[in-house]
């Protein structure tokens, strides 16, 4: 029996969760029209604890606090909510969803599996030598080997998923969430937890710049548009009409070192990425504690995203 590219797209314990959401009239073997890829989908404390238990080397004390403040809580929930709306709108559709289960606290599945020196970037997320995905506080050789292995497994599944969906003419949605404010952290290093506690002291927290409710990641560093044609303008309009403060490439953009840039340039005009402010998706924003997405708040975002993606898919006959 021959093999299919879909044979490579399957769940792997503690690496990636793969789900296909099919409409009521969708054929079991239909090619999904949309890929929802969530490279920072490990947003639960159990994800952090399970990988931490496998690590051998010394790590900063209370590193779970960094995990909680920097995990993309709500991203997977938003992506799934969009998928459900799209198959309801067109019951013969199916949507493929990838959720990384690897905490970005240890390795970033949206960056190469290399290590670098942390530099200032005006945000909590490390841009390690512009291209590295492993923070400098991970030093043990066995830990590095483990993380690179897990990362490789995830990227293999993601590459196959993009080829299967976008290679067939479909679209991709890559949802992220970010913290409410740009914190003045000089570097992501062994002192990251101590520095975050300092930055989040009540008298200091409100002094940091407040980010936009929505930041569309549609262009590279040179300003070249990478997202589906017209979608940047339409989403800015739609989010604004729904009461959100929406901007494009304000805090972040599609950085050339990211795997989102790789997928965007491999499949031009087929990937839409965005950041949603986390405090708008949870019952109460508590930086150092576990929290979960509020379904009603998630619905507000999905109700804007889904119709715009639906229109784009219909234009493609999907």
pLDDT above 70 coverage of the chain, percent: 93
Angle at 156 between CA 26 and CA 220, to 5 degrees: 90
Indicate left, alpha or beta for 32 from its phi (over 0: left) and psi (-120 to 50: alpha). Answer: beta
Task: Indicate the pLDDT class of residue 1, thresholds 50, 70 and 90.
Answer: very low
Task: Indicate the pLDDT class of residue 293, thresholds 50, 70 and 90.
Answer: very high
| Dist CA 112 CA 270 (whole Å) | 21
Task: Indicate the pLDDT class of residue 114, thresholds 50, 70 and 90.
Answer: confident
Helix, strand, coil tally for the chain in percent (to 5): 35, 15, 45
Q: Could you identify the residue written with the tokens 């390795």?
A: 107
Long-range contacts of 51-55 (CB under 8 A, 24+ apart): 51/14, 51/102, 51/103, 51/106, 51/150, 54/146, 55/106, 55/138, 55/140, 55/143, 55/146
Task: Indicate the pLDDT class of residue 17, thresholds 50, 70 and 90.
Answer: very high
Instruction: Assign 160 to helix, strand or coil.
Output: helix
pLDDT tens-digit map of 142-172:
999 999 999 999 999 999 999 999 999 999 9
* Residue 2 pLDDT > 50: no
What pLDDT, on a 0 to 100 scale, did the predictor assign at position 5?
62
Instruction: Assign 143 to helix, strand or coil.
Output: helix
Task: Indicate the pLDDT class of residue 131, thresholds 50, 70 and 90.
Answer: low
* Residue 7 pLDDT > 50: yes
| Dist CA 154 CA 176 (whole Å) | 17
Contact 131, 111 (CB under 8 A): yes
Can you give the residue ranges of every domain in the chain? Answer: 5-315
Compute the chain's Rg from CA coordinates: 19
Indicate left, alpha or beta for 272 from its phi (over 0: left) and psi (-120 to 50: alpha). Answer: beta
Question: Which residues 6+ apart lie within 8 Å of 70 measured at CB?
Answer: 104, 105, 124, 125, 179
Domain 5-315 has CATH 3.40.630.40: yes
21-33: average pLDDT: 95
Give me the chain's average pLDDT, please. Answer: 93
What pLDDT, on a 0 to 100 scale, did the predictor assign at position 123?
46
Contact 144, 150 (CB under 8 A): no
* Residue 81 pLDDT > 60: yes
What pLDDT, on a 0 to 100 scale, did the predictor assign at position 116?
60
| Dist CA 237 CA 232 (whole Å) | 9
Contact 39, 113 (CB under 8 A): no
| Dist CA 264 CA 227 (whole Å) | 7
* Residue 96 pLDDT > 80: yes
Task: Indicate the pLDDT class of residue 128, thresholds 50, 70 and 90.
Answer: very low
127-146: average pLDDT: 80
What pLDDT, on a 0 to 100 scale, did the predictor assign at position 187?
83
What pLDDT, on a 0 to 100 scale, did the predictor assign at position 4?
63
Q: What's this model's pTM, rounded to 2 decimal places?
A: 0.94
């Amino acid at each position: 029996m021959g093999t299919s590219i879909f044979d490579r797209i399957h769940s792997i314990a503690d690496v990636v969760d793969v789900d296909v959401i099919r409409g009521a009239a969708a054929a079991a073997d239909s090619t999904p029209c949309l890929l929802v890829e969530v490279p920072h989908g490990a947003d639960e404390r159990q994800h952090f604890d399970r990988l931490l238990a496998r690590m051998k080397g010394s790590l900063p004390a209370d590193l779970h606090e960094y995990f909680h403040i920097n995990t993309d809580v709500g991203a997977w929930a938003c992506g799934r909510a969009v998928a459900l709306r799209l198959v309801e709108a067109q019951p013969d559709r199916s949507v493929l969803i990838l959720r990384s289960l690897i905490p970005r606290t240890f390795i970033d599945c949206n960056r190469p599996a290399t290590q670098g020196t942390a530099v200032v970037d005006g945000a909590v997320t490390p841009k390690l030598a512009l291209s590295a995905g492993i923070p400098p506080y991970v030093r043990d050789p066995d830990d590095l080997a483990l993380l690179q292995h897990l990362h490789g497994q995830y990227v293999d599944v993601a590459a196959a998923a993009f080829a299967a969906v976008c290679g067939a003419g479909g679209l991709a949605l890559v949802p992220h969430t970010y913290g409410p404010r740009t914190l003045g952290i000089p570097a992501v290093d062994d002192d990251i937890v101590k520095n975050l506690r300092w930055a989040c002291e009540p008298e200091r927290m409100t002094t940091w710049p407040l980010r936009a409710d929505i930041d569309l990641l549609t262009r590279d560093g040179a300003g070249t548009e990478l997202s589906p044609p017209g979608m940047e303008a339409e989403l800015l309009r739609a989010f604004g009409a729904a009461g959100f403060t929406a901007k494009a490439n304000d805090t972040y953009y599609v950085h050339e070192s990211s795997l989102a840039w790789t997928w965007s340039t491999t499949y031009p005009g087929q990937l839409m990425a965005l950041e949603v402010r986390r405090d708008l998706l949870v019952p109460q924003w508590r930086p150092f504690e576990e929290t979960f997405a509020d379904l009603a708040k998630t619905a507000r975002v999905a109700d804007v995203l889904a119709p715009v993606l639906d229109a784009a898919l219909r234009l493609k006959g999907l």
